[in-house]
A and B are shown apart, each in its own frame.
Chain A
Amino acid sequence: MIETVPAIEMIDVNKWFGDFHVLKDINLNISAGERVVICGPSGSGKSTVVRCINRLEKHEKGTIRVDGMQLSNNRKAIAAIRNEVGMVFQQFNLFPHLTVLENLTLGPIKARGLSQSDADTRAMALLERVRIPEQADKKPGQLSGGQQQRVAIARSLCMEPKIMLFDEPTSALDPEMISEVLEVMLELAEEGMTMVVVTHEMGFARKAADTMVFMDEGKIVETGDPKTFFEAPRTERCKQFLDQILSH
């Protein structure tokens, strides 16, 4: 095994919201190309972990390194890290006043200085890839939830990130739209993108994950490969959780 710089490294990360201790000594090592699925009950801190990676939340203690760069208050470091990390939100967060195409090209043009035509070409290629090129000139409000989330994925990919973070990407979707989003995510996984996914979609986790992480009350309770994780969870809490969500 060749020793390389890990894509994401979290060492003893702690975070508080006021008096509430959301993250307790989080240690996580994610190598390039690895697909990690984080699951756990709500309020367990899984979204916060993901949001700390691109500094949407600030951790108070511990070290986070992304692609070898340490996260601190240094704005340049934060900007550099955000440049390599794409993010997909539960609520899509598309820009409602811009067209689908403009949603994709805003970042590349304003942050990367790409020309309009280069950005348009890149954006159209990505819209083809998420199978909605015909919606390019519509506003996000005219699209279905599943289409919006695919636009959101394409928007992140348009910045050509090395790492993609997904914060419950299918939780706000109608059941029949979940699969179209998961398909896009599976394709991305097959292409070797480094992914950190917070989700309750265990079917996706079985197919795509290299590593499962189970969190509860701000701690990482269990990590492991999907096979052992699903078939023989080591901790009682994890077993209980899996029974709950897999029983339906």
Chain B
Amino acid sequence: MPLVMNQFQKTPRLVFRMLATVVLVMALVLAGFSGAEANDPGSNLEVVVDVVEDSSAQAKPEKSRFENLRWYVVSPFTEQGRTNLKFLIDGTWSTLLMSMLALMISIVVGLLIAIPGIAKNKPLRSTNVIYVEFVRSIPLLPLILWVYYGLPEIAGIQFNYFWAGVFALALSDSAFEAEIFRAGIQSIPKGQAEAGRTVGLTYFQTMRYVVMPQAIRRILPALGNQFAYMVKMSALVSVIGLQELTRRANELIVTEYRALEIYTILILEYLVIILIIGQGVRWLERKLNDDNEDVLSKTKPVANSTE
């Protein structure tokens, strides 16, 4: 029984914390919706006129800034708002797919770069240093532009904007992943690898079965960070035209002229995605740690309950 209680207490607390954040922000936004709807469900043209009027005629001090908001453009309660929201949310798939693919590639590349970084051999080690220092120094936005516009000229490779985004994100992130893996591997005591070798394992078997399983547990929080970072950075790929979340928001603003409302929704979209990822990583962390040290604290209450 205490075993069940323990898990039961853990999960809702985290879910509650996450939901509370979303609900709080949503409440603020919805407070804006109701005010806006009562105020003025006008057309785009009128909105523009409104704005012009407001800025020129300062003789209306009673009209607060809050009342100028046109929440109906993204309100789930109006036809227009629903269409717009659907348009915005449809970008989620691109953002997620691109970030996931980039993350997977950057983890593999990062690991391949990290391994020479822990070698005894100096030339091998310096390939790691050169790669990390070089790639880490390139800002992501120029890298995206270079991959999309530059690479076709120099190498004759024309990625579409999705793959250009994936490639640039993965390349940029791989240097960080490499450093995370190197730190993780180096944090495992040397005796572990030595013990692996003395029971007959090869270098790669020692890595695979002894060092990496322990290192992964330690670097999981850092990997979670990188994933959240990756999702956020994917917004930059909007500049080359990929229809992900940010691009769609920008396009909608061109037709609706409402920046604040649409960007608020955009930020909420990222917030929800990253909160979910964060909880996923925490869950994974708990699961791996349960396999590891928590076995003792788990078995104890069960033993007591049989008395």
Contact = CB atoms under 8 A, between A and B. Distances in A.
B45 to A, nearest CB: 65
Contacts of B202: 79, 111
B209 A106 contact: yes
Interface in A123-154: 138-139, 141-142
B200 A82 contact: yes
Contacts of A107: 199-201
Contacts of A110: 200-201, 205, 209
A97 B198 CA distance: 18
Interface string A178-210: 000000000000000000000000000000000
A86 B296 contact: no
A93 B200 contact: no
A139 B194 contact: no
A95 B198 CA distance: 13
B68 interface: no
A56 interface: yes
B210 A95 contact: yes
Interface in B95-117: none
A33 B263 CA distance: 78
Nearest to B288: A97
Interface in B210-266: 210, 213-214, 217
Q: Interface residues of A toward B: which range?
A: 20 to 34
Contacts of A138: 295
B171 to A, nearest CB: 32
B291 interface: yes
B191 A91 contact: yes
B195 A159 contact: no
Contacts of A97: 213-214, 217, 291-292
Contacts of B296: 139, 141-142
B198 A111 contact: no
Contacts of B293: 139, 141
B295 A93 contact: no
Contacts of B126: none
Contacts of A139: 292-293, 295-296
B197 interface: yes
A111 B199 contact: yes
